[in-house]
Amino acid sequence: MLDLLVFSHESGYGKKATLPCPCGWRGHPTKECVCAPPALARYLSRLSRPLLDRIDLQVEVAALPFERWAAEDGGPEEGSAAVRARVEAARERQRRRFQGEAPAVNADIAARDLRRHCALRGDGIKLLAQAARRFGLSARSLDRILRVARTIADLEDRPDVSAGHLSEAVHYRCLERWQPRESRAAQAVRHGGEAGS
């Protein structure tokens, strides 16, 4: 079983989903998944593109190893009070950015305003171009990556979205990173079709 955290801001949807792989052991801390990559890709390709396009975050959650479970404290992780303070500071940065404008948070930035709020440098554009080609990302998916990268930058109190922030945001789209690679022709058809929408 593969545990995932999926989150969609616009549908107010955040939950843990379980996606079994054909052998059932993917994501397990000690058992080994024996599914061949093409078999796994075929399995995951049943998830529809429009569904994936609506999800902001897709994160694989590793099953808890016994040692972690048995340990008395929760490990060196950041306490929830510290996390809350960072999130509130990032929200405050967003409020200042959008003062008087329609979006209240980065997740609500309209596609046409994205480049204004998430200016990209050359290395960032190159990274996104590579990810789009490699994983067959749709235009909507790339927009979501930009909004998430903007939020990661806000959490770090950085004024600009860096290639590192974009890379982390791409990482949070694990279901698309596992999709079978499409032929360039198929991608061209799909992106061409979306350009007018």
Binding site for Zn ion (CB under 5 A): 21, 23, 26, 33, 35
- C-beta of 183: minimal distance to Zn ion in Å? 26
- C-beta of 41: minimal distance to Zn ion in Å? 12
Distance set, CA 84 to CA 13, 36, 47, 103, 194 (Å): 20, 41, 33, 21, 38
Task: Please give the single-letter amino acid code of residue 135.
Answer: F
Please say which residue, 33 or 139, places its beta carbon nearer to Zn ion. Answer: 33
Please say which residue, 21 or 170, places its beta carbon nearer to Zn ion. Answer: 21
Please say which residue, 23 or 41, places its beta carbon nearer to Zn ion. Answer: 23
- C-beta of 57: minimal distance to Zn ion in Å? 23
Please say which residue, 22 or 164, places its beta carbon nearer to Zn ion. Answer: 22
| 114 CB-near residues (< 8 Å, 6+ apart) | 143, 146, 147
* Cβ pair 165, 149 in contact under 8 A: yes
Task: Give the separation between CA 55 and CA 120, rounded to whole angstroms.
Answer: 22
Helix, strand, coil proportions of the chain in percent (round to 5)?
Answer: 50, 10, 40
